[in-house]
Chains A and B, each alone.
Chain A
Amino acid sequence: MVTHGIFDLSGRVALVTAGGHGIGREYCLAMAEFGADVACNDIDITLAEETAALVERRGRRAAAIRADVSKPEEVEQMVRSAVDKLGAIDILFCNAGIVNPLVPLHELSVEAWDRVVDVNLTSMFLCVRAVLPMMLKKGKGSIIGTASVAGIKAGSAPLSYCYGATKAGMIGFTRNAGVHYAPTGVRINAIAPGLHDTRPVGLGLTDEQTEELKKTVSPSIPMGRFAEPAEIRGLAVFLASDASSYVTGQVFSTDGGITA
């Protein structure tokens, strides 16, 4: 057993949206490995249950909660359910996200645009809004949004302007809310991942599109490779724990140098 010290999350509860796969699942496992209980949300309950089982295998309590986080009432219900089952929420990962259909902007349907904005950006507002009252009451909390290098720099993912816009929106939200809640003990930060070698479950891309995207992006990664999914865990633990107690309103890229 490693001495985690400042990274220790024992006694804390983390809620992770879209925790059923990809980077979300990595967040859940990272939290569990450092001692936290985990409420794993996903729109696909089977995936959430898989992650919950993996959390329990690490000796932590877990709850699998189905919810579409773009819907206010489902978010409220998700948070109530997490608190009912695990007693609190100390850490929130706003991680749900989808990619817009990869067509030119002037051909993108308004419905597709709205859906991406709702799932990526509005969901962060809804989730943050729902957990803040209890964090404010406790005078402590850590909120982490999954932004993207696409919200910082264009060009690495062609045709992802709506995705990029919402990810930039999340960064704006993170900065603004980070400053606003700075005196309250609630810290709000974002992670901007580059391309991680995750399966495209739920992201709305076909395997073929994912491979195509990777081929396009690969030459622009200074490190010359995609990240292993688990490489996100260190940053997640840093931001979730007291290790980052003087950090708020910030965005941390883990992208092999794309935005360097």
Chain B
Amino acid sequence: MKLFDLFDLTGKVAVVTAGGHGLGREYCLAMAECGADVVCNDIDSELSAETVRQVAQFGARAASVQGDVSKPDDVARMIETALTHFGRIDVLFCNAGITRPGAAHEMRYEDWAAVVAVNLRGTFLCMKAAIPAMLAQKKGAIISTASIAGLPGGYAPDTLVYAATKAAIIGLTRHAAMAYAKDGIRINAIAPGLHDTRPVGLGIPPEVQEEIKKLILPRIPLGRFGEPGEIRPLAAFLASDASGFVTGQVFVQDGGMLA
């Protein structure tokens, strides 16, 4: 079933990083559900291939691109794939993210650098690569996956570098939005709270993920985690003309945790 016409993305092309699982896969499915063709990136090509299979059920065209978003060459290849296969890029989801545990005085520099490379550098690289095509079209929507960890009240233990990069993504979103506001490119962020996704790829061991969830559950006013699919309408809203006057904003979806 299609969402309302306002959210229609027929003829549009969406690129989603880390679209092979979790919220990234939901973004891909949301785009396809609204009529867009989808380029699904993931560092694990088997996961993105599975997303592509699911996207095809909506009748959309889809391509899978393996790539590490912290690497400029990989990002360039992803954007080229979109342009070669589908001729345009209307929507970009900068969604790839990892984390490593450790308080400031215990964290290894390599762990810090790895997370900054994927979360922050990766977001920048994808924006940088996709914006020229959007400038040429005089239209585009970029949506980054921030996190409640990057906002006041979103603290959880062992999330220092994650929180720092997610806050930085919010800063990047605001500034880039102002810079390209007159070019028809809208840039916003989604700050999800805890959604019941499998921890594939995020780099958090399942038992730690469970521990975090147990710790956070009492702080969620709605008393439950988000269903992964619940992110889809927000993704459709921000990707489509439904949000035509919205830019530089961060949309929190967290069961009331930060309220």
In Å, the complex CA distance between A158 and B174 comes to 11
B164 CB, nearest partner CB in chain A, Å: 4
Which of A72, A154, A171 is in CB contact (< 8 Å) with B174?
A154
Instruction: List the A side residues contacting B152 at CB < 8 Å.
Output: 175
Q: Please report the C-alpha to C-alpha distance between residue A12 and residue B178 in the assembled complex, in whole angstroms.
A: 43
Fill in one digit per residue for B99-131: 1 if any A CB lies within 8 Å of its CB, else 0.
Answer: 000011101010011001000110011011101
Interface residue? B141 (CB, 8 A) = no
Residues on B with beta carbons closer than 8 Å to the beta carbon of A153 = 174
Per the bound structure, the CA–CA distance linking A108 and B165 in Å amounts to: 19
A128 to B104, CA, bound (A): 7
| A243 beta carbon closer than 8 Å to chain B | no
Q: How far is the CA of A165 from the CA of B174 in the complex (A)?
A: 8
**Contact residues, A138-193 vs B (CB, 8 A):** 150-151, 153-155, 158-162, 164-173, 175-177, 179-181
**B171 located at the interface, meaning its Cβ lies under 8 Å from any Cβ of chain A in the complex:** yes
Contact yes or no, A121 B168, CB < 8 A: yes
A131 to B59 alpha-carbon distance, docked (Å): 57
- Most chain A beta carbons < 10 A, residue from B105, B113, B127: B105
Chain B, residue nearest A108 (CB): B128
- Separation of A161 and B178 alpha carbons in the complex (Å): 9
Contact with A along B152-185 (1 / 0, CB 8 A): 1001010111011111111110111111100000
Nearest-neighbour CB distance to chain B for A144, whole angstroms, equals: 15
Q: Which residues of A contact B180 (CB under 8 A)?
A: 105
Q: Is the CB of A154 within 8 A of B178?
A: yes
Residue ranges of B at the interface with A (Cβ–Cβ < 8 Å)? 72, 103-105, 107, 109, 112-113, 116, 120-121, 124-125, 127-129, 131-132, 135, 149-150, 152, 155, 157, 159-161, 163-172, 174-180, 248
Interface residues of A (CB under 8 A from B): 72, 104-106, 108, 110, 113-114, 117, 121-122, 125-126, 128-129, 132-133, 136, 150-151, 153-155, 158-162, 164-173, 175-177, 179-181
A-B contact pairs, 12 of them (CB 8 A): A105-B127, A122-B112, A126-B109, A136-B105, A154-B175, A154-B177, A158-B178, A160-B175, A162-B172, A172-B166, A172-B167, A181-B104
